[in-house]
Amino acid sequence: MIFETKGLEYIFKTLKSGDFFGFYKKPWYRLFSRLIAFVTNNKLSHVAGVFDVKRSKNAVVFKLGEQTVFQGRSTNIYSIVAIVTDGTTYNFDSRFTDKHQDLYLLSNQFQLTKEQNQIVKDYWTRKVTYKIKELAFTQNWFYRFFGNKTKVYEGNCSTATRESMALCGIVDSKFDDKVPDPTEFAKFSYIKSITKICF
């Protein structure tokens, strides 16, 4: 996974509806992150979709849709506030500034239209539980042998982010892996860039 490293100002200035955040929980006791890293052989263990981005002079407010083991599918509202004194500092929710996790911004080459944003909003507000048993299908060999090719797998974070885009007509232009793990999702052709965010 190749990426640049930038600060919070980058998110403040560029975040748009259709982008994604990627996470990796570093401590050894984050067992589920470790399990995903072990199964998928990568260090991006979770992805979540951005929509309803509203921007003003000193704040960016957005909603984040995600599918997690403990909450199922959910949406939350977050903000980044620019505080201007002698210089400008940026306040971001502690969810994103946890020193025990790596945070990535996956920039979509497309900005969602109003209609697409509504599709994504409806998608993320539908209550669905996380399906741990579907994690195995993110391994291409497992899916090839055991996957139901007529089924839409959307029971975990990366398959849900993929499906949220597919419903908007945004699909990978080279191949459309129907059951990607988080790192495979980050390699989709509509992901324009991956930026590691430092604090």
Local confidence band at 185 (pLDDT 50, 70, 90 cut-offs) = very high
pLDDT > 70? residue 31: no
For residue 90, CA distances in Å to 79, 103, 107, 154 come to: 10, 16, 20, 34
Looking at residue 27, its pLDDT comes to 45
CA 23 to chain centre: 8
Q: What is the mean pLDDT of the chain?
A: 86
DSSP string, 42-76: SS--EEEEEEEEEE-SSEEEEEEEEEETTTEEEEE
Best-predicted range by mean pLDDT among 27-41, 122-136, 157-171? 157-171
Residue 80 in contact with residue 91, Cβ under 8 Å?
yes
Stated pTM of the model: 0.86
Looking at residue 39, its pLDDT comes to 54
Of all residues in the chain, what percent are helix, strand and coil, respectively (each to 5)? 30, 30, 40
**How confident is the model over 62-104, as pLDDT tens digits?**
999 999 888 899 999 999 999 887 778 888 988 888 888 889 9
